[in-house]
Amino acid sequence: MGRVVKTMTPAGNIHIRLIHEAGQVREVFIQSTRPHRLTQVFINKTPEQLLTLLPLLFTLCANAQAYSALHVCRIGLDLPPEPEADKARDALVALETVREHLWRILVDWPMLLGYKSDKTELARFLALERQAKACLFNDADAFKLSSRFLGFTKTWQNLMADLTALLDKVLFAGDLAHFVNLTQ
């Protein structure tokens, strides 16, 4: 048996075909129609130009894409490590992951079930995510060579508390602590 999943974007399609038998995946086939020439836009660009363009062209997980590119640029330019700044960048990528899941749960799931989606809480999360980026890096720009890490301040701690409270309310109906205890 096989199932084809199509992901359609302006940048092309990705077709994934799974062959399964008795509940086990036996083979996976991936076919992409995404234009490979798109990467030619980066030829003769400075690292800063690359770091500006990349998240605009590859918007799916833009923070993760930008972070990967920044890491490669830093290695290529033989720049020293930035362990604390990288912890902050990791946190921003994690927030991006939470945002993507929250989007699916709050917007896509209700529509799939025939309900109207309420984007109010998602908008609140997006605002808190922007504030988190701004309190960690100058000009809220975490993924540039010129980024300056501002530190994990009290503002950051307060934002994380606000984000946790929002997720507790929206996803766990006030029972996040019980959920966390299930895994211990």
Query: Are 51 and 144 spatial neighbours (Cβ–Cβ below 8 Å)?
Result: yes
Distance, CA of 100 to CA of 13 (rounded, Å): 20
Query: Are 135 and 153 spatial neighbours (Cβ–Cβ below 8 Å)?
Result: yes
What φ, ψ does residue 22 adopt, rounded to 5°? 55, 40
Query: Are 161 and 173 spatial neighbours (Cβ–Cβ below 8 Å)?
Result: no
Give the pair of three-digit tokens for residue 85: 């700044």
Each domain of the chain, given as residue ranges in start order, spans: 1-34, 35-182
Distance, CA of 81 to CA of 67 (rounded, Å): 13
Query: What was the pLDDT predicted at 3?
Result: 52
Q: What is the pLDDT of residues 58-98, one digit of tens each?
A: 777 899 989 999 999 999 999 999 999 999 999 999 999 99
Q: What is the pLDDT of residues 96-139, one digit of tens each?
A: 999 999 999 999 999 999 999 889 999 999 999 999 999 999 88
Give the pair of three-digit tokens for residue 128: 């808190």
- Burial label for 82, CB within 10 Å (0-12, 13-18, 19+), is middle
pTM for this model (two decimals): 0.77
Distance, CA of 83 to CA of 86 (rounded, Å): 5
Amino acid in position 17: R
